[in-house]
Amino acid sequence: MLGCLCLAAMGYEVFPAEGSGSTNAPPGTVVVAYLEYREVTNSLVTYSINRRAEAVAFTKAPDFGQRQVQRGTLRFGSYTNFVIPYAWDQAQGKLYLDLNGNLDLTDDPGGVFT
């Protein structure tokens, strides 16, 4: 999603593939989007995402084994009250987001990104 936002900021518009049907694909499926450059007249609103590496004490987390996992928080814009804790397992290529803010990474199935 962040990549699409960045492309939109550069003047690209994202369109679903022709004949692809619904864009609300079930989890685990691959959705192909064809990008087409277009000049746009509307202005864009942007927010910065600040990553702060810190020791977040999750009450529950997936079994990371002996792998080193980066933990921290994502802060959106200048607002400090909108914070999402995360764990980045670089060896497995997975980003875990605590979307509901309860410090439990095992109950957010939509918060795991490969």
Q: What is the pLDDT of residue 82?
A: 80
Percent of the chain scoring above 70 in pLDDT: 71
0.75 cut: is pTM over it? no
- How many Å apart are CA 114 and CA 94, to the nearest integer? 5
pLDDT digits (tens, 9 = 90+) for 41-91: 888 777 777 888 888 889 999 999 899 999 999 887 766 678 899 999 999
Contacts of 43 (CB under 8 A, 6+ apart): none
Q: Where are the domains of the chain?
A: 2-37, 49-113
Contact (CB, 8 A) for 111 and 98: yes
Contact (CB, 8 A) for 43 and 8: no
Residue 75 tokens, joined: 């802060």
Contacts of 83 (CB under 8 A, 6+ apart): 73, 74, 75, 76, 101
- How many Å apart are CA 11 and CA 68, to the nearest integer? 38
